[in-house]
Structure 1
Amino acid sequence: MKYQEAIEKYDPVLGIEVHVELGTTTKMFDGAPNTFGGGPNSNTTPVSLGLPGALPVVNKKGVEYAVKIGLALGCSIAESCRFARKQYFYPDLAKNFQTSQYDEPIAYEGRVEVELEDGTLFEVPVERAHMEEDAGKNTHVGGADGRIHGADHSLVDFNRAGVPLVEIVTHPIEGAGERAPEVASAYVKTLRDIFRALGVSEARMEQGNVRADINVSLRKTPESPLGTRTETKNVNSFRSIERAVRTEIIRQAEILDAGGTITQETRHFNEATGDTRSGRPKSDADDYRYFPEPDLVPVVPDRAWVESLRENLPELPAAKRRRLRGEWGFSELEMRDIVNADLLDPIEDTVAAGAKPAAARKWWTGEIARQAKQLERSAAELVTPAQVAELAGLVADGKLNDKLARKVLDGVIAGEGDPAAVMAAKGLEIVQDDGALEAAVDAAIADNPDVVEKIKGGKQQAIGALIGPIMKATRGQADAGAARKMILAKLGL
């Protein structure tokens, strides 16, 4: 079945659970370092190893970050909330339960406005944002695809166990229709941008800082009761989110068309094929046997503290993009390209350092982005906004043309200094000496009498044939406009 056919027959409803790892110094309930990497089981304490008698203590910074996230999502912040034990078999949590929040989340009932590719705005209702801890990591050895099925044995690394998380859960997302895949991806991307703007997480999906569980169900019409949902676990890229939603809509539609029923289950997305496959039956809340965590006191956020955090929230990404687009005069397409390349902040900082917006966009999305891709590094790692602003200024002042500026940029990226220093050290400044330029022009005229006759005959476009030798003679450092004027003057034109 094709996607369009499935959409014409059924109305999709989404539910999205996003987990973000918080960038605290230590874990959520103990003093173990919260760092990425390190040898297996090196970032652990008795608490994160679940040893008998080890007692947890709540990370205050983790609570602060959770409140900031709740405020940015338009949520109400609980006057009091508490942790609970969520219980099922956790081979990667040694205590065999997860410390989470159940009926008393720290933040609840918010909304997120997302912008789709064509500028359409779509509102996603948020049910809750709650604090919890991450599990460790299982490595299954001996199988064909790294999963437990068919593996000879499994290894457990508890470094990630206890890392602070905030889980954001939506209400059913209705009304997306055929744009459901795009809405899901745009929503997660919007959250990723918010996390970064708040400074609560690096939010790098490739490192698992942000993970999305995508729930999909189908119903006959928008007025019909909600259908049985499936949950595709830990989808970790925007493209994969779109593919997973699309694939699951088609799969469920085919089952329903054949008279079958949808099984409530978790599923796994296969990056190589784009398919989802069955994991395990999906549990309901009752199956987790939640009960209040007896080793932790309730969290009671001070109201004045919460209001202080609210007043000091940074400008959120969507509002910032709209403001800068108006200030810079960019088109929707230009702004979307900048945002998709994660270059909004570098360009903003470059403009703040004195560059014109168009020049800043040109260098960051052009030559710098090209070299970043070639070197497999981020653009922001290659140069600073101040250096780009300095480079753009040298071009605007007529000391460099684009060709020379690219050579200067190569030197800056190679660590040879700032643009002005590289330009001076390599002698790349445009020839300002009228005598040197005049000598090159005279030589070009003398060496190309046939071209001179064409120019005198009215074919001024032939001047380009003289500019080449002039540039060669000046090592590309002549001002082409000045050379053109000088040629015409010498030919009496």
Structure 2
Amino acid sequence: MMTAAYRIEGATGAWEVVIGLEVHAQVTSNAKLFSGAATAFGAEPNTQVSLVDAAMPGMLPVPNRECIRQAVRTGMAIGAPINKWSRFDRKNYFYADLPQGYQISQLYHPLVGEGRIEISLDDKDPEAETKTIGIERIHVEQDAGKLMHDQHPTRSYVDLNRSGVALMEIVSRPDMRSPTEAGAYLRKLRAILRYVGSCDGNMEQGSMRADVNVSVRRPGEGLGTRTETKNVNSVRFVMAAIEGEARRQVDVLEAGGTIVQETRLYDPDRNETRSMRSKEDAHDYRYFPDPDLLPLELDDAFLSECEASLPELPDAKRHRYETVLGISAYNAGVITADVETARWFELVLDQGAKPVPAANWLTSELFGALNRLGRDIVDSPVSQTQAAELLSLVADGTLSGSLSKQVFEIMLETGEDPGAIVEARGLRQTSDTGAIEAEIAKVMDANADKVADYRCGKDKLFGFFVGQTMKAMGGKANPAVVNDLLKKALG
């Protein structure tokens, strides 16, 4: 299925949007990039700050091997070459939350080279068009601190807990052409990072955020002047920021104005971007090699260890689910989109559940219940063992589909095991042909006119007789047995 091109209609014609994203992903590590200070989220301000992070005189940075390892593994997961030789540079600028007066980053010789991510333009359609988004590079850098403006009426305070935290800056090429593509790219990138374990992807906590580069042009023309909207912290806000900023640029250009290369902020309350400062070029930051850090030189043994530690990634897992386990393309896509869901599902399979019914139940019954309860799958009130037991009771004929729904609702409320629920409440499905035939006879006697109509050719009435029989049996009759006996009784 081809997706219609995204265009913004102006008074003088259509405009195309060009989008690139710079994603800052906090590296999963117990310590910072160049110090041993902790990185846990939510600590009291300035309680996780070493002398290196505070830029005390004479304190020298020492690279954290785990941070480098995680960045290398991320690069391998997107099919990018790893540069055995890379270097740290100083990015010089003054800001109150940057105690050194510079940020240690990588401009000229990044750790990871060009990679790619394939996205689906419609996650709900297994036949939807796909697109490859290029990754220009991944470089490792340290985060700045945080200014706190709401602690005092006339002063701002600085929290340096984040100062020195390791970030991977994942820079895409300007390959995206719509807010939908940008959203799909972010979701796919987040999934890869979480599978690899190199970033937890918690955008609401700031461990993954995006700088959004947007420009507009007439279709077929060269690139326009771009703006950069900083630190957008949700997929929804990224998509909204792109749409609003693109519309603003079109309005400016059609009014005869020009786009200023600048840094902007997104205001979610007003759903608009606003100017922050002029956008600097690389030479404005006076980059130069950091004299306190030797270049990184990686050997083959280190790279081999990194590669061997990679898990099965989302695309490979989805393909295996479809081709080996026989799961539908849609269910496979839904389950593999999030690493926690895939882990939960595979633990259910480890308990003996069959893949196809387990996938169907997970994406319908369990997801529906979790949405209703406002919970994530890691907080599911039903365990993988209980889920497998419930599916087993359906598979061996103990429960019908309708009875399994009743049992599941009781499980959600009480936490009881499904087998115990079945025994305590007498919810076992019956295949007793004598009892079912007796109820069928009663239903037919009470609806003689409909029996006559059915025998005269109104075949759709068959469903009515099934429903009435199941109702008379309290939903406990085996539907397959009911169907067979009704066909014989109705003639």
Q: Same fold, TM exceeding 0.5?
A: yes
2:62 equivalent to 1:62: no
1:80 to 1:244, Cα distance in 2 relative to 1, 3 A: same
Question: For residue 387 of structure 1, what is the aligned residue in structure 2?
Answer: 386
Q: CA deviation at 1:189?
A: 1.9
2:418 equivalent to 1:419: yes
1:110 to 1:447, Cα distance in 2 relative to 1, 3 A: closer
Paired residues, what number? 473
1:299 to 1:447, Cα distance in 2 relative to 1, 3 A: closer
- Cα distance in 2 for partners of 1:324, 1:439 equals 42
Which runs of structure 2 are paired with 1:416-455 in the superposition (5 Å)?
Answer: 416-431=415-430, 434=432, 438=434, 442=438, 449-451=445-447, 454-455=450-451
Question: For residue 184 of structure 1, what is the aligned residue in structure 2?
Answer: 182
Aligned residues of 2:138 and 2:171 also touching (Cα < 8 A): yes
- Cα distance in 1 for partners of 2:112, 2:453 equals 79
1:81 to 1:183, Cα distance in 2 relative to 1, 3 A: same
1:375 to 1:288, Cα distance in 2 relative to 1, 3 A: same
Render the CA deviation track for 1:25-46: whole Å, top value 9, x for unaligned.
Answer: 2222222222122322233332
1:325 to 1:377, Cα distance in 2 relative to 1, 3 A: same
Aligned residues of 2:314 and 2:337 also touching (Cα < 8 A): no
Which runs of structure 2 are paired with 1:254-403 in the superposition (5 Å)?
Answer: 254-329=251-326, 332-338=329-335, 343-351=341-349, 353-382=351-380, 383-403=382-402
| Identical amino acids, percent of aligned pairs | 38
Question: For residue 157 of structure 2, what is the aligned residue in structure 1?
Answer: 155
- Cα distance in 2 for partners of 1:484, 1:218 equals 62
Question: For residue 24 of structure 2, what is the aligned residue in structure 1?
Answer: 19
Report the 3-state secondary structure (helix = DSSP H, G, I; strand = E; otherwise coil) of the residue aligned with 2:209.
strand
Q: CA deviation at 1:344?
A: 4.4
44-53 vs 438-447, greater mean Cα deviation: 438-447
Q: CA deviation at 1:448?
A: 8.5
Aligned residues of 1:451 and 1:465 also touching (Cα < 8 A): no
Q: CA deviation at 1:354?
A: 3.6
Aligned residues of 2:35 and 2:50 also touching (Cα < 8 A): yes
Aligned residues of 2:245 and 2:273 also touching (Cα < 8 A): yes
Question: For residue 129 of structure 2, what is the aligned residue in structure 1?
Answer: 120
2:84 equivalent to 1:79: yes
In structure 2, the gaps of 5 or more residues are 1-6, 456-460
1:103 to 1:479, Cα distance in 2 relative to 1, 3 A: same
2:131 equivalent to 1:131: no
Match of 1:167 among 166, 169, 190: 169
1:34 to 1:486, Cα distance in 2 relative to 1, 3 A: same
Report the 3-state secondary structure (helix = DSSP H, G, I; strand = E; otherwise coil) of the residue aligned with 1:430.
coil
Render the CA deviation track for 1:387-426: whole Å, top value 9, x for unaligned.
Answer: 3233212111111123332333344445634433443454
215-224 vs 76-85, greater mean Cα deviation: 215-224
Aligned residues of 1:438 and 1:486 also touching (Cα < 8 A): no
Aligned residues of 1:467 and 1:484 also touching (Cα < 8 A): no
2:242 equivalent to 1:245: yes
Aligned residues of 1:445 and 1:452 also touching (Cα < 8 A): no
Residue identity in the other structure for 1:253: V
1:202 to 1:341, Cα distance in 2 relative to 1, 3 A: closer
In structure 1, the gaps of 5 or more residues are 144-150
Question: For residue 404 of structure 1, what is the aligned residue in structure 2?
Answer: 403
2:50 equivalent to 1:41: no
1:283 to 1:126, Cα distance in 2 relative to 1, 3 A: same
- Cα distance in 2 for partners of 1:333, 1:375 equals 23
